[in-house]
Amino acid sequence: SDGSGLARDDVSTLDAPTVSRSGTLIAYTHPATQLIEAGEVTSVSLVNLEVPLTDPARSAAVAGMPISTPDTQFVHAGLDQPTISGDGRFVAYRSDAASNDAVPGWGIGATPGGPATRQIYVWDRDEIDPFLAVRLVSVRVDGAPTTVGASDPVLSRDGRVVAFTSSDVGLVPAVLPPCGDGCPSQVFRLDRDTDENGIYDEVSRTAMTMVSSVAGSDPVVAGTAPSSQPALSAEGQLVAFITKAANLQLVKASGGGEPDDGDLLVADARQGTLRRLAMTSDGVRPAVAAHSRPQLSDTGRTAAFDTLAGPQLVADGLPGRQVVTITTLPTLALAEADLGSTLVGFTSDEWFVAVINNGTTTFTPSIVTVSDRRFAVNQDASTCALGAPVPPGADCTVRLTFTPNAPGPVTATLTVAEAGFDAVSVSSNVRGAGGEPMLRTNPAGADLGGVVVGQPSAEFLFDVENISLLPTAVSSIDLGGAHPADFAVTSNSCNGKALNPRATCSVGVTFTPVAPGRRTALVKVFTSTGQYTSMVAGGDARYEPVFEVAAGEVEAGGDLGVGGSGFPPNTPVSILFGDGSASSLVTSTNADGAFLLWLPIDPSEGGGQRTIVAQAADGSVSSATIEIIEQPSVSPGLPGFGMGF
């Protein structure tokens, strides 16, 4: 309705309507009937369902729409592709008008008589200054609007992040494929508040990045074929998109489907990673790249898309185009805590433990519980209890105290959980003991950083202080918690040393992980009379696999010696060509995470440079490049032509 109480009958079916999270604001595209003889020009209206049906204020054109019919040298299409931020404050759209002018006029294009260039704009509904209300998003490095156009805008829940598609090579400095005048489209992400002060679009405090680029490349290496159809998680950290580019993943997905179909990838803007979502059941080979129109849930945990590859993704999947969802749970770590000895009837100092999200999707905790009332959680100061999202690579904290009512040890379970459908939780043990406190560690916790599995970290030193009024001595230091085998006490000036009140000694700890992921342990320091304190040690472990070939070239039909090291031990590893041209060979690593084998090369393999990929089921991957020498073709002989007849 346009506010008259009558239904429109001209809503564009080419653009899906967009709705705010509350469901009260809806934007949609329709012909610009408010203009005289505007032809095919479209406009975007915003409807507020909280306003009565017959109130003219119920529906209005978005800011940035010119009030006059186009009269330039260019062909205009108007405004379309609206999207609303979850909080309803921002509306982004595509426009070939100068929509960010205080009095919008119609824009220009590359060639008179040709189409006007379409840009991406964002309207701030709370901004009353007409010079600031609408912002241009598709801005090149030189400060000028894109010269080739942009499309497909999407907004994060708070409007801070905008993602869109454009083939303009001037938006982000990058290594691009040779493309002349027809470069492939790329997906871009604009962060409008890099200093996180809540004020958007401040000068030098925004950042444009190319999402459809090789992860970790410096300089940025763009995708070699079109990427499009971006979708955002609520906080805008995760960007899903469709791509036909073969250089963004080590293993190429075979193509198929409709012209807009492609491979489905998810980029993590904070972590700098790029992963493929649609995999076959072996977890190594990609499904056929016939996916489109992805959408992400708020947490990025569930991706919905339509695809022709349903039978490869879902057991008993039917042929034909299907809507498929893939759910990826966050990987969470919560270290055990030990608050040490506390005087009976008194409350300990406040400790904190962190929930770390090492996964690829967001965790949104709001419930923190502990199974024993002698432990108390400070709900107001615990960020894990606030319902705030914890995206990949981030953490939240729980603050708690211990009040023993009797001497002796106490153990409880601390749980941090989400609320609602398919809620995820993580738990660990918390401990303490009723007794005379005598020692304190400083710091009480430390992160020893990221380390390759099997390799030692640098030693970390912490102090142990006598906080009592009496002399004491350290009798022993023990390792406990979740992963004590990953840590070792490598230096100890406390051993057998008498500690007067306020005196200190030091202990050194080294992290040598035996498995990947988040690893934690408790370093417990005891006195000869049984009182103790602890220090929480943690670190992140990863595999760093290496894949090597015995020769730089091999003839088709021959065997190639290959080997790997640094993979997970006793684990299947698939070896395949990166272009997906042949079936994979599966081997297993030994107890040291290594393997050696002869890789047969099919006689029909074509010649040229090829990439061979070795990948374990956990995602550990490495590659090597070889040159394949194609077998010469043999033509059948004819009598009298060299065959001896």
CATH number at residue 566: 2.60.40.1930
Q: How many CB atoms lie within 10 A of CB 269?
A: 21
Read off the pLDDT of each residue in 439-465 and give the average, rounded to a whole number.
96
pLDDT at 636: 58
Distance, CA of 99 to CA of 155 (rounded, Å): 18
- Note whether 247 and 355 are same-domain residues: no
pLDDT of res. 641: 46
Q: What is the pLDDT of residue 634?
A: 60
- Same domain for 446 and 323: no
The arithmetic mean of pLDDT across residues 564-588, rounded, is 89
Q: Are 249 and 286 in contact (CB under 8 A)?
A: yes
Cα distances (Å, whole numbers) of residue 239 to 68, 94, 484:
37, 19, 37
Q: In sequence order, what are the residues at sequence separation of 6 or more whose Cβ sits closer than 8 angstroms to the Cβ of residue 316? A: none
Same domain, residue pair 392 and 462: yes
Asked if residue 584 and residue 495 are part of one domain, the reply reads: no
- Residue 299 pLDDT greater than 80, yes or no: yes
Asked if residue 296 lies in contact with residue 156, where contact means CB atoms within 8 angstroms, the answer is no
Residue 581 pLDDT exceeds 80: no
More confident residue, 262 or 578: 262
Number of domains in the chain: 4
- Each residue of 89-117: pLDDT tens digit? 999 999 999 999 999 999 999 999 999 99
**Which residue, of 136, 162, 183, is where some domain finishes?**
136
Domain match, 366 and 493 both? yes
pLDDT recorded at residue 637 = 55
State the pLDDT at residue 317. Answer: 76
Is 410 found in the same domain as 529? yes
pLDDT of the residue at 645: 34
CB contact set of 32 (below 8 Å; sequence gap of 6+)? 38, 41, 42, 43, 65, 78
* Span 60-80, average pLDDT: 95
Are 323 and 336 found together in one domain?
A: no
The reply to whether 30 falls in a domain is: yes
- Mean pLDDT score, 438-449: 94
* 636 falls within a domain: no
What does the block give as tokens for 306? 């339509």
End-of-domain residue from the set 491, 509, 542: 542
Q: For the whole prediction, is pTM greater than 0.75?
A: yes
Q: For the ranges 281-285, 455-459, 465-469, which has the lowest average pLDDT?
A: 281-285
Q: Does residue 35 lie within any of the structural domains?
A: yes
In this predicted structure, the answer to whether residue 45 has a pLDDT above a threshold of 80 is yes
End-of-domain residue from the set 299, 327, 355: 327
Residue 306, C-beta contacts closer than 8 angstroms, at least 6 positions apart: 291, 292, 293, 321, 322, 323, 324
**Residue 640 pLDDT exceeds 70:** no
Residue 409: CATH number of its domain: 2.60.40.10
634 located within any domain? no
In terms of domains, do 222 and 370 share one?
no
Q: What is the mean pLDDT of the chain?
A: 93
Same domain assignment for residues 555 and 524: no
Residue 359 has pLDDT above 90, yes or no: yes
> Does residue 173 sit in the same domain as residue 304?
yes
Per the model's pLDDT, the better-predicted residue between 487 and 56 turns out to be: 487
Q: What is the pLDDT of residue 496?
A: 80
The answer to whether residue 143 is domain-embedded is no
Residue 446 has pLDDT above 80, yes or no: yes
Please tell me the predicted confidence (pLDDT) of residue 13: 85
Mean pLDDT of 392-404: 97
The domain of 2 spans 1-136
Q: 151: which 2 tokens? A: 């499309």
Residue 148, domain member (yes or no): no
For residues 57-63, give the mean pLDDT.
Answer: 93
One domain, residues 566 and 483: no
Q: Is the pLDDT of residue 177 over 60?
A: yes
Within-domain flag for 197: yes
Instruction: Indicate whether 403 and 521 sit together in one domain.
Output: yes
pLDDT digits (tens, 9 = 90+) for 605-618: 888 999 999 999 88
Is 641 a member of any domain?
Answer: no
Q: Which helix (H) or strand (E) holds 312?
A: helix 310-313
